[in-house]
């Protein structure tokens, strides 16, 4: 297998894993759930048995969500202030509420994508040697 083919297969694997992570599904099989609750990562996939204990998402997902939400809020602030110039308290309440809701919606998929990326790259003990066998059709079913 040439370098180009190996690199293409690896990027396909990462892309497919990230797509599955966005849906909060197992990066290996795309069937089982990653979370046991709102943000508590399961110990293993209920379908393929992939061990999730090596994951180290830590604070990364929160930083990414804050970065995105604050940029959106920063761009929305002048527009909202222009529309409601006479009521700055309303602007503050609307943007604060929108930021809280958007952060709570975005956090689980971003954290699942962090776990999926770590799995796809074999980071933190997600060794590829111990990876459960999943067919190439299943791995690249998302069209990568």
Report the mean per-residue pLDDT for the chain.
84
Averaged pLDDT for residues 41-62: 91
Averaged pLDDT for residues 30-36: 93
Q: What pTM, to 2 d.p., does this model score?
A: 0.78
48 close to 131: Cβ distance less than 8 angstroms: no
Averaged pLDDT for residues 118-136: 68
Q: Point out which residues pair with 51 in neighbouring strands.
A: 44
Per-residue pLDDT at 88 exceeds 80: yes
Q: Give the other-Cβ count within 10 Å of 1's Cβ.
A: 7
Query: Under 8 Å CB-to-CB from 34, ≥6 apart: which residues?
Result: 21, 24, 25, 26, 27, 41, 42, 45, 52, 112, 115, 116
Query: Under 8 Å CB-to-CB from 29, ≥6 apart: which residues?
Result: 45, 47, 48, 50, 132, 134, 138
Averaged pLDDT for residues 120-141: 62
Q: What is the pLDDT of residue 68?
A: 97
Per-residue pLDDT at 107 exceeds 50: yes
């Amino acid at each position: 297998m040439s370098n180009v083919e190996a690199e293409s297969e690896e990027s396909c694997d990462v892309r497919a894993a990230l797509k599955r992570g966005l849906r909060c599904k197992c990066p290996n099989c795309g069937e089982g759930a990653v979370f046991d609750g709102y943000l508590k990562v399961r110990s293993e996939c209920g379908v393929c048995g992939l061990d999730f204990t090596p994951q180290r998402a830590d604070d990364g997902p929160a930083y990414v969500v804050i970065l995105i939400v604050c940029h959106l809020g920063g761009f929305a602030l002048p527009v909202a202030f222009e529309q409601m110039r006479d009521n700055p308290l309303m602007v503050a309440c609307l943007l604060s509420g929108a930021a809280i809701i958007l952060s709570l919606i975005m956090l689980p998929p971003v954290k699942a994508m962090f776990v999926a990326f770590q799995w796809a790259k074999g980071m933190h003990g997600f060794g590829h040697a111990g990876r459960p066998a999943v067919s190439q059709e299943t791995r690249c079913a998302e069209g990568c």
